[in-house]
Copies of this chain bind each other. A is one copy, B any other.
Amino acid sequence: MPSISTKGINMPESPIRKLVPYAENAKKKGIEVFHLNIGQPDIKTPDVALEAIKNNTIEVLAYGRSEGSEKYRQKLANYYVQHKINITANEIVVTTGGSEALLFAMGSICDPGDEIIIPEPFYANYNGFSTASGVQIVPVISKIEDNFALPSISDFEKLITSKTKAILICNPGNPTGYLYSKEEIEKLAEIVKKHDLFLIADEVYREFIYDDDAKHQSVLHNFGLEENAIIIDSVSKRYSMCGARIGCLISKNKEVLNTALKFAQARLCPPTLALIASEAALETPQSYFDEVTVEYKSRRDVLISELSSIEGVKVASPKGAFYCVVELPVDNADKFAQWLLEDFNLNSQTVMVAPAAGFYSSKGFGTKQIRIAYVLKKEDLISSVKILKSAISEYNKI
């Protein structure tokens, strides 16, 4: 029998996949499962996007341009300019989700064995994209005690080798909810310019910021990173259009952009129907975002306050995105997450959480932590934390 590749063997499984059968079994037994494990918002997609799809007049669903239509990129550039990110349509390559933008970025700047430094914990799929691209992730630990703030410059510099090609951040962070300050981005700018590295910033949660004094700092604001910065973006969270699969890669570095474009040409074009929805979504009224922000802020506040009331629970205070990392007083979060689905219920309800070990690439880290996505309505979040509280107490009696 012909054999699969080492790369294929090394591709990580989704960190929650092994829990899915347990969740299905629980449901079969009549238990209601609150899904705190995935970043799929329950927020309605803007009408303007849904209507554009219904009203499309396509007769031949044809290939579009590899880099995305000029019209869409033009409108998209306007959106960025409104966010003080001064780019033009020609500095954007439209991709099939932020996922593909990350693959194009890694492929454009890294050869097999090259290294990218990423503050840990990080979005689990970075492991998959780096394995697929033959890139080595070098984690730099950020700590729950520091609220997952940026590690020190010296922590980064200790890890930089001749193989290092980039630092990758997610801002605001999945899974941490951490929002980097201006000073922190300045620190990163200093490091990447000094060592001639790229700074890849996954900014898909740009709008999801909940405190009045907090402001998103894009790597293409005034940090002098024109040659170094690569922004990864996506419509998935902004417009609750995760299934559209439209994102983009942005760079003012022409070599990077032209290289990413060659990757884009090989796969022909991003999905045409989703592009129609994404273009229309740019007309979403501000009131939509205002409502969404108020909703997530109140979800965050109630979640953090409820979690903090459980003895022995350590919780970071997220400033953005819609995740938080929680350290539980249990021996092993993986085992606990499975037990929640397999052996526990409170009045026929239980919760599914994402064990945080999958968000670390260092072995043995995050084993007592979970990631909670606050994508459910407040009542359900309150019920979920009640279940967690009761479960922890019960679990520790076993």
Contact = CB atoms under 8 A, between A and B. Distances in A.
B53 A273 contact: yes
Contacts of A114: 5
Given A62-B243, A245-B271, A253-B1, A7 B111 contact: yes
A332 interface: no
Interface stretch (A79-87, A153-161, A259-267): A259-267
Contacts of A269: 243, 245
A4 interface: yes
A262 B60 contact: no
A136 to B, nearest CB: 13
A175 to B, nearest CB: 15
Given A2-B228, A11-B262, A274-B271, A242 B128 contact: no
Contacts of A44: 59-60
A41 B125 CA distance: 36
Contact of A240 (B61, B108, B112, B192): B61
B1 A227 contact: yes
Interface string A248-263: 0000010110010011
Nearest to A239: B61
- Interface of A, helix, strand, loop or mixed by DSSP: loop
B40 A62 contact: yes
Interface string A35-73: 000101111110001100111101111111010000000
Number of copies: 2
A285 interface: no
A309 interface: no
A97 B269 CA distance: 10
A4 B242 contact: no
Contacts of A128: 262-263, 265-267
Contact of A263 (B11, B62, B266): B11
Given A40-B63, A42-B60, A60-B43, A4 B274 contact: no
A277 interface: yes
A165 B3 CA distance: 8
Interface in A1-25: 1-9, 11-14, 17
A144 interface: no
Contacts of A127: 266
Contacts of A59: 44-45, 50
A89 interface: no
A100 B267 CA distance: 7
A96 interface: yes
A272 B244 contact: yes
A242 B267 CA distance: 11
Contacts of A38: 63
A258 to B, nearest CB: 9
Nearest to A14: B265
A132 B259 CA distance: 11
Contacts of A62: 40, 242-243
A97 B268 contact: yes
A255 B5 CA distance: 10
A331 interface: no
Given A5-B114, A14-B265, A45-B61, 18 more contacts: A2-B165, A2-B198, A4-B259, A5-B111, A12-B266, A13-B262, A40-B62, A61-B242, A61-B244, A62-B242, A99-B266, A103-B267, A107-B132, A128-B267, A132-B263, A243-B271, A273-B277, A274-B274
